[in-house]
Amino acid sequence: MISLLGPIIAACILRTAAAQSISGTATEFAPVNSPLDCGFIVRPSALAVLLSPEAFDPSQCLAVIGVTFNGTEVDMRVAGTCDACEGTDIEISTEGYEVLGAPLGSTIDVTYVIQ
Ligand SMILES: *[C@@H]1O[C@H](CO)[C@@H](O)[C@H](O)[C@H]1NC(C)=O
């Protein structure tokens, strides 16, 4: 029993350490039922986020990313990279903008945590 707890506690600590809040600028993208860098189809209704080429790693595909805008936090999924993004910039799907209450087409300041 005790021998099982060690790895579980270690996993929890690693998970907490990795979940760091990042500030960035977001723009909207409209998914068109095609696969992006992660390889899965991104539907127009998806709550999807694209990361900059520097920030993206394939191991993050489908990771939950908690995006906060203007006090509203919404869990979305990492779906690939956005070529126009740099650093901590992200792109958020149209559905994500709507659920966040962000004006469509606008550039917004967000914070996010990749879990
Ligand atoms: C943030 O939310 C408040 C209250 O709902 C709203 O009045 C304000 O317009 C929002 N700000 C932006 C940038 O959307």
DSSP codes joined into one string, the chain = -HHHHHHHHHHHHHHHHH--EEEEEEEEE---SEE-TTSSEE-TT--EEEE-TTT--GGGTT-EEEEEETTEEEEEEEEEE-TT--TT-EEEEHHHHHHHTPPTT--EEEEEEE-
- Of 5-19, 29-43, 56-70, minimum mean pLDDT range: 5-19
- Of 1-5, 10-14, 49-53, 100-104, minimum mean pLDDT range: 10-14
**From the CA of 18, how far away is ligand 1's center (Å)?**
30
* In-domain check, residue 70: yes
User: Pick the residue with more confidence: 89 or 18?
Assistant: 89
What average pLDDT does the chain have? 89
Q: Which domain holds residue 55?
A: 20-114
Q: What is the pTM for the complete model shown? A: 0.83
* In-domain check, residue 12: no
Whether pLDDT at 31 is above 90: yes
Please report the pLDDT score of residue 3 as a whole number. Answer: 53
**From the CA of 103, how far away is ligand 1's center (Å)?**
10
Please report the pLDDT score of residue 8 as a whole number. Answer: 47
**From the CA of 70, how far away is ligand 1's center (Å)?**
6
- Total domains in the chain come to 1
**From the CA of 91, how far away is ligand 1's center (Å)?**
20
